[in-house]
A and B are shown apart, each in its own frame.
Chain A
Amino acid sequence: MHGKSPLVSLMLSVRALQKSYRSGPDRVSVLRGVDLDVAPGESVALTGESGSGKSTLLHLIAGLDAADAGEVRFGDTLISQLSDAGRAAFRRDHLGLVFQQFNLIPSLSVADNLAFQSRIAGRHDAAWQAELIERLGLGSLLKRYPEQLSGGQQQRVAIGRALAVKPLLLLADEPTGNLDEATADEVMSLSRDLVSRTGCGFLMVTHSARLAAMLDRRVHLHAGLIA
């Protein structure tokens, strides 16, 4: 069993979060006061129709974007009040991100992609990485480059990279959107398994009711509010 993150006792707390975008001459409110909590070790599916603000909420939680109002808090750390550099450091050290578009670094081999975030966070754990490689079935692919992998393989590498840092929370935005059903099930199963091994929280944006049902809890977003 691997040691837990020092912040593992804290939970994600989102309060009255608002975000709007300019669209031509108008402003479109995407989030209109969202409240959300994720407990340690809890897996939550974030569902909603297209344009309901799921990805925006995920990006604000990850500190990839700044909210207009409201707060995002991890324990004592108020993400919404951190500078860009502060948000980057928090993301690097405590969050794992998985996107629909895999987002691997094309010029790095699978092994280097897997170790990348944990190395720049200064938290590389060779034993943990070896376990991840084994459980993700990437042992024979380590020297390959992303372009030489199938979509399912690339997404497994992306999950491995996100978990290698032993994050407080794993954030996934439609991680199986580009995969067929069988591969998507395999990736989901691996994700849940590894999340439970690390004890981190898991927040996943998905359109699929079937995949949402595989997680502990489901939160539905409608017109910028939690339904």
Chain B
Amino acid sequence: MKRALWILAVLLSHWRRHPMQLATLLVGLISATALWSGVQALNQQARISYDRAASALGGARTATLVGSNGESLPQQIFVELRRAGWPVSPMLEGRIQIGGRSLRLLGVEPLSLPIEASAAPAIGTSGLQGFLSPPGQTLIAPDTLAELKAAAGDTPLTNTGLTLPPLTPQNESVPGLLVVDIGVAQRLLNMPEKISQLLLGQRDLGPRAPLASIAGGETLRLVEPDAETDLERLTDSFHLNLTAFGLLSFLVGLFIVNSAIGLAFEQRRPMLRTLRACGVSALQLNSVLIVELVGLALLAGLIGLVCGYFIAATLLPDVAASLRGLYGAQIPGELTLRPQWWAAGLAISVIGALGAASASLLKAIRLPVLAAAQPYAWQQAQQTALIVQGALALIVFAGGVGCLLLGDSLVAGFAVLAAILLGAALALPAVLGLVLLLSERVARKPLAKWFWADSRMQLSGLSLALMALLLALGVNVGVGTMVQSFSKTFTGWLDGRLAAEVYLNAASDAQAVEIKAWLRDRPEVQAVLPGSRAEAQLGGWPIDLIGFADHATYREQWPLLESSPGAWDLVARGEAALISEQLALRLKLKLGDRVAVPTPQGSWPLEVVAIYADYGNPRGQLGVAIAALVAHFPGIAQTRFGLRVTPAAVPALVTALREKFALDNRSLADQAALKAESRKIFNRTFAVTNALNAFTLGIAGVALLTSLLTLSQSRLPQLAPLWAIGITRRKLAVIELMKTLSVALITALLALPLGLVVAWCLIAVVNVKAFGWRLPFQVFPEQLVQLVGIAMLASLLAALLPILNLLRMQPAQLVKVFADER
């Protein structure tokens, strides 16, 4: 033990003498761990919320019996099942509107509710009396209560003019959900004697009759407790994207670690040989090397976790806003981290460090004790490494092409992306070597020849940092192009979808009627376009049915991607539907196919007659005639409408409507405000991606700086002879700077085509698999020039410190190179 500690002390003495190298290693490990753990913290926070929502009352953690075609069920079936020994409890679910806000309403029957499903104390044994006795209670999450600007005990009105039982805040409730007695729900949803599903408890009530033998039992379908909720399915792509960027940042961080450990190994090679010569066995030496590395990784991991926490806390508001805006998922604004997160963070730091150091550790194991000191053996070995790396790049590219041709999932999409990036990074040193060799051959003057030859020699030491720069730039170009293409397409699409000048959502059906009557007397209002919305399930996915009026506004402006002849007429007759692009892709539907939508009135057969773009919406959507929608979903609110108004008259009309009917911003918005809000949601969706992009580029800059700093220490033998033959230190410094900038510029220029390929992959492969929408591919030259500028600035900053060191260097240090005794 004592012996091992001595060896460890000797190994650690290297870092004491080379603090910058230690800082490089720690910075690499800290940034890798911080970014990975930060992203994982965000994912974990979201998953905790989804899990909470699923485990709470009305979640998906209890088995249920539902109508086989998704329709509502007669209440009588509950009685039949209980008589037959089934431990079932009825539930009725629907949506109501309060003050222009749409909320999920859940009616339960607390007496038969399975014990494992009754998470709220108010419907447990102690609070049952208050829940059941008139006027009853409406259980609500405190967050939702605050959003409604209501207080406990309030009895708000729904849009249909019905009164809710007094609001009772419950911490266990899911945000956005109201829980009432099933009788109250039937009244509020206008669905007397109807239930939407039956919860199936685990309690054994004795022998049960087979489902098929019970009256109406043949119409039921058993839904097992869902391990994955709708929310989890919908947000999967979002989290996968986040994870992919976290992984990329992690890998870029590991490039720094690999670079630092590789150089440290080369510098310590004589020390390791001496240790072996002094009697330290290979096994002992390697064991202590691993202990040293694990120790450093744990230290860096801890710091990285703290940084990761702050990164996650900074990004959480944007992530929460994106998830709320896109998926309606409610994520608390504060991070709650589980112990597993800390353990996983430390583990990833140790695994990352060991992975990045594996090549050096293998070299240490095979280190021949007797080989003469060869400070540049590493660089010579790089020639072989270049060939191996180039071959590996070809294999990785081939794998990527294979995934592109054969894969049909989001994971395959990311595999293609990973193959492009990894293959390009592996091929970079070989390509750079070739470019520098050609430049050397073209050069005529001796100093210029030396410039390119020496750049080539430096390449081995810089290649890892340059690979990190290439990856960071490639991803920046790729993501930037994708976001810009999306932004441009989105703006055009928004103009088509938001064709009406004013959008209005009345507080109740009665108010809607009143507003419509008032609008009839306003000459500036050219048309009132009613709209409505219902929810259903299709192919196992939650979908929205959008009802709209048959009007020229839609026929002329709705952005259809493809359509059948006479599509609008078929839709107007209630026989056909427009389908969103993502739903068509998800369910593999094309024009002419037929779908059967489950509704409270029975199955609704619809023909697919058009496919339209519906960017930013993860839920599938069907566009149908409003009259047919209301007929199939009698309970739905009819409070929404769009107004076609002479543009100049919009401000006055909005003011008049607001004053006359006390409508707030949520209930009344003009086109410009809605577009601004949509763009805000769009921008927030990419805020996290942009932040991670910037982090990655920053880390690549640090990688370049640390590589240059480490390399500058071994540059003296190359520079001293030039200084001796009369080239000033100032000129040498300029040459060194130009060399760094040259390789950085070549790397940045190579990153541009790589970035465009990445953008194509994101747009044509990953986006389609993740979100279900295609975008036109566009190139933005200004953005490319800007990124090359940023890369050069980062390289200049990274090169500056070593150059200043060289400028300040005393001649005595350069003379030492020629001394026999050093």
A residues with a Cβ closer than 8 A to B are: 59, 62, 64-65, 84-85, 88-93, 95, 97, 99, 101, 103-108, 112, 116-117, 119-122, 145, 147, 150-151, 161, 178
Q: Is B13 a contact of A112 with CB atoms below 8 Å?
A: yes
Query: CA separation between A90 and B279, bound complex, in Å?
Result: 7
Q: Is B281 a contact of A89 with CB atoms below 8 Å?
A: yes
Asked whether A64 and B282 contact (CB < 8 A) given A112-B13, A145-B17, the answer is no
Q: Is A106 a contact of B278 with CB atoms below 8 Å?
A: no
Beyond the given A62-B277, A104-B274, A161-B278, please list 11 additional residue pairs across the A-B interface where CB-CB is below 8 A.
A59-B370, A64-B370, A88-B281, A105-B13, A106-B17, A106-B271, A116-B6, A117-B279, A120-B3, A120-B278, A120-B279
Q: Is B271 a contact of A88 with CB atoms below 8 Å?
A: no
Q: Is B279 a contact of A64 with CB atoms below 8 Å?
A: no
A90 to chain B: closest residue by CB: B279
Enumerate chain B residues within 8 angstroms of A145, measured Cβ to Cβ: 17
Q: Which of A89, A90, A120 neighbours the largest number of chain B CB atoms within 10 Å of its CB?
A: A120
Please count how many residues in chain B sit with their CB below 8 Å of the partner chain's CB atoms.
30
Q: How far is the CB of A24 from chain B (nearest CB, A)?
A: 18
Asked whether A88 and B2 contact (CB < 8 A) given A105-B13, A107-B14, A107-B271, the answer is no
Among all A-B residue pairs, the 9 with the closest Cβ atoms: A92-B279, A88-B281, A107-B13, A85-B281, A91-B279, A107-B17, A151-B821, A107-B14, A117-B278
The B contact surface, by secondary structure, is: helix
Q: How far is the CB of B821 from chain A (nearest CB, A)?
A: 4
Q: Is A88 a contact of B17 with CB atoms below 8 Å?
A: no
Query: CA separation between A147 and B277, bound complex, in Å?
Result: 20
Enumerate chain B residues within 8 angstroms of A88, measured Cβ to Cβ: 276, 279-282, 284
Query: CA separation between A145 and B271, bound complex, in Å?
Result: 14
Q: Which of A88, A117, A121 neighbours the largest number of chain B CB atoms within 10 Å of its CB?
A: A88
Query: CA separation between A183 and B474, bound complex, in Å?
Result: 59
Q: Is A91 a contact of B278 with CB atoms below 8 Å?
A: yes
Q: How far is the CB of A133 from chain B (nearest CB, A)?
A: 19
> Residue B7 at the A interface, CB < 8 A?
yes
Enumerate chain A residues within 8 angstroms of B362, measured Cβ to Cβ: none
> Residue B291 at the A interface, CB < 8 A?
no
Enumerate chain B residues within 8 angstroms of A178, measured Cβ to Cβ: 820-821
Q: Is A84 a contact of B279 with CB atoms below 8 Å?
A: no
> Residue B588 at the A interface, CB < 8 A?
no
Q: How far is the CB of B276 from chain A (nearest CB, A)?
A: 7
Query: CA separation between A91 and B281, bound complex, in Å?
Result: 10
Enumerate chain A residues within 8 angstroms of B281, measured Cβ to Cβ: 84-85, 88-89
Some 19 contacts from A to B, beta carbons below 8 A apart, are A59-B370, A84-B281, A85-B282, A88-B282, A92-B279, A92-B280, A103-B273, A103-B277, A105-B13, A105-B271, A105-B275, A106-B17, A107-B13, A112-B10, A116-B6, A119-B3, A120-B7, A147-B822, A151-B820
In the complex, chain B residues 264-323 whose Cβ is within 8 Å of any chain A Cβ: 270-271, 273-284
Q: Which of A97, A104, A108, A147 neighbours the largest number of chain B CB atoms within 10 Å of its CB?
A: A108
Cβ contact of B6, chosen from A84, A119, A161, cutoff 8 A:
A119
A179 to chain B: closest residue by CB: B821
Asked whether A103 and B280 contact (CB < 8 A) given A120-B6, A151-B821, the answer is no
Enumerate chain B residues within 8 angstroms of A93, measured Cβ to Cβ: 279
Enumerate chain B residues within 8 angstroms of A84, measured Cβ to Cβ: 281-282
Q: Is B13 a contact of A103 with CB atoms below 8 Å?
A: no
A88 to chain B: closest residue by CB: B281
Query: CA separation between A150 and B3, bound complex, in Å?
Result: 30
A55 to chain B: closest residue by CB: B370
> Residue B406 at the A interface, CB < 8 A?
no
Query: CA separation between A105 and B276, bound complex, in Å?
Result: 12
Query: CA separation between A95 and B279, bound complex, in Å?
Result: 9
Enumerate chain B residues within 8 angstroms of A112, measured Cβ to Cβ: 10, 13
B14 to chain A: closest residue by CB: A107
Q: Is B282 a contact of A97 with CB atoms below 8 Å?
A: no
In the complex, chain B residues 163-205 whose Cβ is within 8 Å of any chain A Cβ: none
Enumerate chain B residues within 8 angstroms of A122, measured Cβ to Cβ: 2-3
Q: Which of B6, B14, B284 neighbours the largest number of chain A CB atoms within 10 Å of its CB?
A: B6
**Total contacts A to B, CB within 8 angstroms?**
82
Q: How far is the CB of B382 from chain A (nearest CB, A)?
A: 23
Query: CA separation between A145 and B284, bound complex, in Å?
Result: 26
**A interface footprint on B806-822 (CB within 8 Å = 1, 0 otherwise):** 00000000000000111
Q: Is B373 a contact of A101 with CB atoms below 8 Å?
A: yes
Query: CA separation between A95 and B373, bound complex, in Å?
Result: 22
Query: CA separation between A29 and B283, bound complex, in Å?
Result: 30
Q: How far is the CB of A122 from chain B (nearest CB, A)?
A: 6
Query: CA separation between A14 and B271, bound complex, in Å?
Result: 30
B369 to chain A: closest residue by CB: A64
Query: CA separation between A65 and B283, bound complex, in Å?
Result: 16
> Residue B444 at the A interface, CB < 8 A?
no
> Residue B16 at the A interface, CB < 8 A?
yes
Q: How far is the CB of B403 from chain A (nearest CB, A)?
A: 44
Q: Is B370 a contact of A65 with CB atoms below 8 Å?
A: yes
Query: CA separation between A120 and B821, bound complex, in Å?
Result: 29
Q: Is A150 a contact of B821 with CB atoms below 8 Å?
A: yes
Query: CA separation between A147 and B822, bound complex, in Å?
Result: 6
Q: Is B283 a contact of A108 with CB atoms below 8 Å?
A: no
Q: Is B274 a contact of A103 with CB atoms below 8 Å?
A: yes
Q: Is B821 a contact of A108 with CB atoms below 8 Å?
A: no
Enumerate chain A residues within 8 angstroms of B820, measured Cβ to Cβ: 151, 178
Q: How far is the CB of B539 from chain A (nearest CB, A)?
A: 65
Query: CA separation between A106 and B275, bound complex, in Å?
Result: 12
Enumerate chain B residues within 8 angstroms of A99, measured Cβ to Cβ: 277
Q: How far is the CB of A188 from chain B (nearest CB, A)?
A: 18
Q: Is A121 a contact of B369 with CB atoms below 8 Å?
A: no
Q: How far is the CB of A151 from chain B (nearest CB, A)?
A: 4
Query: CA separation between A158 and B282, bound complex, in Å?
Result: 22
Enumerate chain A residues within 8 angstroms of B279, measured Cβ to Cβ: 88-93, 95, 117, 120-121
In the complex, chain B residues 7-23 whose Cβ is within 8 Å of any chain A Cβ: 7, 10, 13-14, 16-18
**A interface footprint on B16-43 (CB within 8 Å = 1, 0 otherwise):** 1110000000000000000000000000
Enumerate chain A residues within 8 angstroms of B270, measured Cβ to Cβ: 103, 106
Enumerate chain A residues within 8 angstroms of B16, measured Cβ to Cβ: 107
Q: How far is the CB of B375 from chain A (nearest CB, A)?
A: 12
Query: CA separation between A38 and B7, bound complex, in Å?
Result: 32
Enumerate chain A residues within 8 angstroms of B276, measured Cβ to Cβ: 88
Asked whether A105 and B274 contact (CB < 8 A) given A122-B3, A145-B17, A150-B821, the answer is yes
Query: CA separation between A119 and B9, bound complex, in Å?
Result: 11
Query: CA separation between A84 and B277, bound complex, in Å?
Result: 11
A91 to chain B: closest residue by CB: B279
Asked whether A108 and B282 contact (CB < 8 A) given A103-B270, A122-B2, A151-B820, the answer is no
Q: How far is the CB of A37 from chain B (nearest CB, A)?
A: 24
Q: How far is the CB of B124 from chain A (nearest CB, A)?
A: 67
Q: How far is the CB of A157 from chain B (nearest CB, A)?
A: 12
Q: How far is the CB of B264 from chain A (nearest CB, A)?
A: 11
A86 to chain B: closest residue by CB: B281
Enumerate chain A residues within 8 angstroms of B274, measured Cβ to Cβ: 103-105
Query: CA separation between A95 and B280, bound complex, in Å?
Result: 13
Enumerate chain B residues within 8 angstroms of A90, measured Cβ to Cβ: 279
Query: CA separation between A122 and B271, bound complex, in Å?
Result: 20
Enumerate chain B residues within 8 angstroms of A107, measured Cβ to Cβ: 10, 13-14, 16-18, 271
Enumerate chain B residues within 8 angstroms of A85, measured Cβ to Cβ: 281-284
Asked whether A97 and B821 contact (CB < 8 A) given A64-B369, A116-B6, the answer is no
Query: CA separation between A101 and B281, bound complex, in Å?
Result: 21
In the complex, chain B residues 404-428 whose Cβ is within 8 Å of any chain A Cβ: none
Query: CA separation between A67 and B264, bound complex, in Å?
Result: 32
Cβ contact of B278, chosen from A65, A97, A147, cutoff 8 A:
A97
B282 to chain A: closest residue by CB: A84
Q: Is B10 a contact of A105 with CB atoms below 8 Å?
A: yes
Query: CA separation between A99 and B373, bound complex, in Å?
Result: 12
Q: How far is the CB of B9 from chain A (nearest CB, A)?
A: 8
Enumerate chain A residues within 8 angstroms of B283, measured Cβ to Cβ: 85
Q: Is B277 a contact of A64 with CB atoms below 8 Å?
A: yes
B816 to chain A: closest residue by CB: A147
Query: CA separation between A73 and B280, bound complex, in Å?
Result: 20
Asked whether A91 and B277 contact (CB < 8 A) given A65-B370, A107-B13, A150-B821, the answer is yes
